[in-house]
Amino acid sequence: MIIDAQPFALEADPATTALIVIDMQRDFVEPGGFGASLGNDVTRLQAIIPATARLIAGCRAAGVPVIHTRECHAPDLSDCPPAKRLRGAPSLRIGDPGPMGRVLIAGEPGAEIVAELAPLPGETVIDKPGKGAFYATNLSDHLAALGTRTLIFAGVTTEVCVQTTMREANDRGFDSLLAEDATESYFPEFKAATLAMIRAQGAIVGWTTPVETILTALA
Ligand code: C5J
């Protein structure tokens, strides 16, 4: 298939393509979670849920594997560097009890993916302690087993976990396409800058295009 995209069309085979939905967790998207504790307006992130749901549904219908990630840590915080936990002065730190359980801890309600985008039984969910989904996870092995060459990205936040993972993927030889309206930042200027820097210099990190364009190519 040919996907109309910026900075130029991307050629991909659906049989070797996978969708990675980054960190669409209650802790980032709902009031009372980690994102809100840092002083952010989470309603911006909630707004991408319908487009992300359409993208997931289109990929499932086309037989493109859907992989979900969650940024979260072990209950004993053994995989959370103190430098990450102690930074700044948030109202809640990682591991603290909050309205949705302990913040960014695996198994707590806040670490769960929002109900509208819940993984189907059998879909892969990668719990990751870092911003990038390749760091300290089995994502590389999983993609190798699938034979994946092209990655479609959605999720939050655009300039943090999404961009970090796209850069990790780029260095590992994947073609990476970001679904523009299925990703969001707490800071609109950071989203715009990230989309621009991804596709700059002849797709130096990857491509971007709207969800509907991806769905048209997959149909
Ligand atoms: C952040 C993420 N922003 N998923 N995490 O801390 O982007």
The interface pTM score, or ipTM, of the predicted complex is 0.96
From 73, 80, 131, give the residue whose CB has the most ligand 1 atoms within 8 Å, as the site to mutate. 131
Structure confidence at residue 173 (pLDDT): 98
| Higher-pLDDT residue of 171, 92 | 171
Number of structural domains the chain divides into: 1
- The question of whether 128 is a catalytic residue gets the answer yes
| Residue 107 placed within a domain | yes
| Residue 5 placed within a domain | no
d(CA 206, CA 175): 6
SS (H, E, C) 95-157: CCEEECEECCECCCHHHCECHHHCCCCCCEEEEECCCCCCCCCCHHHHHHHHCCCEEEEEEEC
Place of tokens 């493109």: 64
**pLDDT digits 0-9 by tens, 25-80:** 999 999 989 999 889 999 999 999 999 999 999 999 999 999 999 999 999 999 99
Domain that holds residue 136: 13-218
Structure confidence at residue 16 (pLDDT): 98
How much is the pTM? Answer: 0.98
| Residue 7 placed within a domain | no
d(CA 13, CA 107): 35
| Residue 105 placed within a domain | yes
From 38, 41, 44, 71, give the residue whose CB has the most ligand 1 atoms within 8 Å, as the site to mutate. 71
CATH of the domain at 180: 3.40.50.850
- Helix (H) / strand (E) element for 67: namely strand 66-71
Please give the DSSP secondary-structure letter assigned to residue 185. Answer: -
| Higher-pLDDT residue of 91, 179 | 179
